Chains A and B, each alone.
Chain A
Amino acid sequence: MIGLVQNELIKIFEKKMSWIFAIILIIALVGTAVLELKTSTQQTEDDWKVQVQTEIDQLEKEMEKAPSYEDIPEDDYKTKAKEDIQAEIDSFNGNLNDNVNPYTTSWSYLDYYGIALKSLITLFVVIVCAGNISSEFSDGTIKQLLIRPHRRWAILLSKYIALLIYSAFLIAVLIGIGYLVSIAFFGIDDFSGKLSVQNPTTFEMEAVAGGAYFFQSLLYYLPGLIMVLTLAFMLSTLFKNQAIAVGIGVFVLFFSSTAGALIVGFSEKYTWTKALIFPHLDQTVFVVQDKILENITMPMSLGILGIYYLIFMFITFFFFQKRDISI
């Protein structure tokens, strides 16, 4: 089995595409870091609290001169109103109270931008997975692969494991290169340094520990990634045509977030829609909230995913075992 997995890994990494995806991920990491550096105010003092306090003092001075909303002409968009400045001051005071550094730190960069790049990983994994078996069919290499002294399920399983390892590789690039980029651009930061994130249901800002939030988000991202991977893998075994498998895989990927959002709307009226796969694919919402769709907790949601997982795996292995290779 180790030899089979080794073979599949070699085949994945001998393709230039697999490396290009990793490089795109690195470019995206550096790109977002550069944008963040250019577009937002950066910490210049050694202690961010000193800098926040200076900002507050300055804002208070500004506020004395600033007019209130009613006094600003309608076509004037440049002048800051008293109320706006007050809101900024409140926000800074909140930062001081909650001990949240408002400037970009290495962890806040990873939490806001690094995590967002996980959708790139999903996309790349879908493309690689959907092409994995279907390309063996369209290239005809499947014939030479299946006339070996190994059962078909073993060969299929080795491919699946190799694809999981490739996904782990992309995640490792995101974490490893992401961390290096983050400290190169924004300096080393305390792992437990706080930052504020928005709760998607209440829309309130909550203070969380930056490092822990990053890893928790990644961990909660894994079930969805594995599901999408398994689905793409299934498509890859069902369709001999690589283009169809990749096309449908990517379509499902993009459709799932739309469908998930729609189902949140439907679920009040039609309870059964809660059992559809789409709202459960994104487990990261559980990082900041306990329930989705009113009453679905994380263990329930994972249970639903588990059932889909078994169905996908069964279909994949059953059809592959039964299939007559007559290309």
Chain B
Amino acid sequence: MSQYALEVKNLTKKIRSKTIVDKVSFAVEKGEIFGLLGPNGAGKTTIIRMIVSLINRTEGEVVINGHNLDASFAEAMSSLGAIVENPEFYKYMSGYKNLRHYARMAKEEISESRIAEVVKLVGLDNAIHQKVKTYSLGMRQRLGVAQALLHNPAILILDEPTNGLDPQGIREFRDYLHELAATGISVLVSSHLLSEMQLMCHRFAIIEKGKLIHISSMDETVAEGVDELREVTFEIDEANNALELLKSSAVAFEEVSLKKELLTVKLSRSSIPAVNKLFVEKGISVYGINAAKATLEDRFLEITNKKGEEAVR
């Protein structure tokens, strides 16, 4: 058995002379939520559709749970469950009949009790025998998760899953994904919503213009740039004195704003303790220190801008 739930190697898609996806490689570990991040039109959806074999690959290899998509198609496809964009169902049939339909397409027989279990898991017990046309978008999304989980896949692939969901629905969905990941199922999820991905994923790759330009874990990315200046707000009395004090010290900083009891400056992370020490020694009471955390958005813009500048040069 492979250690990865999904491996993608040199995935390339060309339409005529235009390269839409260019040699993208990454791997998703078991029990990991992996994000594909990038602006609209970057090629995220094309990558996902190549993995689930909706779009033909020009080049490259896809290995799902150790099964190569070319060599053992049925085994590979059995190991994945997917929702591609909005989950679409046969609206003239009930949710249950839709699930039966997909259950019949599975390689291994899916029992009635398994269907009931999945329905319960996504909380559709009460509505499962109603026609899908009566479902709300959130219910369809949950039915989508149900059809993707029916056959116990190793990896769940979701393309822009939160599109059209309200904040409440997004939150439920996110919690739900974390629950799934805790049970050992891997998740590959694409989105252009950065803040959403930050809360959802363990690791992520940034895709831009068809290329994978960055890949790292969420903590690393946010922790990176330790020595860069970031905004730090000190809650202190005598903010004016404090500023003067800071100016006369050897600490490198930039002034941002000064209010009565709030001093906001740009500092490197490593000099925060030194500044605190300085204030305390000089008798200034420190009530709080608040270092603004670099968000994924900042990092994302940083990374994409850097690459953009390199390209210009």
Contact = CB atoms under 8 A, between A and B. Distances in A.
A326 B89 CA distance: 17
**Residue of A139, A143, A322 most packed against chain B (CB within 10 A):** A143
A133 to B, nearest CB: 14
B51 to A, nearest CB: 10
B254 interface: no
A6 B80 CA distance: 23
Contacts of B55: 324-326
Nearest to B157: A147
Given A14-B97, A150-B74, A325-B54, A143 B85 contact: yes
Contacts of A322: 56
Given A4-B105, A7-B104, A147-B52, A141 B73 contact: no
A15 B104 CA distance: 19
Contacts of B104: 3-4, 6-7
Interface string A131-161: 0000000011101111111110000000000
B101 A10 contact: yes
Contact of A144 (B73, B88, B91, B93): B88
Interface of A: 3-4, 6-7, 10-11, 14-16, 139-141, 143-151, 322, 324-326
26 contacts: A3-B104, A10-B93, A10-B97, A11-B101, A15-B92, A16-B92, A139-B88, A139-B90, A139-B91, A143-B85, A143-B88, A144-B88, A144-B89, A147-B54, A148-B77, A148-B102, A149-B74, A149-B77, A149-B107, A150-B77, A150-B105, A322-B56, A324-B55, A325-B55, A326-B54, A326-B55
B106 interface: yes
A325 B53 CA distance: 9
Cβ-closest 6 pairs across A and B: A140-B88, A149-B77, A325-B54, A149-B74, A3-B104, A148-B105
B34 to A, nearest CB: 18
A14 B105 CA distance: 18
A147 B76 CA distance: 10
A6 B82 CA distance: 23
B266 interface: no
A10 B46 CA distance: 32
A143 to B, nearest CB: 4
B105 A3 contact: yes
B214 interface: no
A149 B73 contact: yes
B88 A147 contact: no
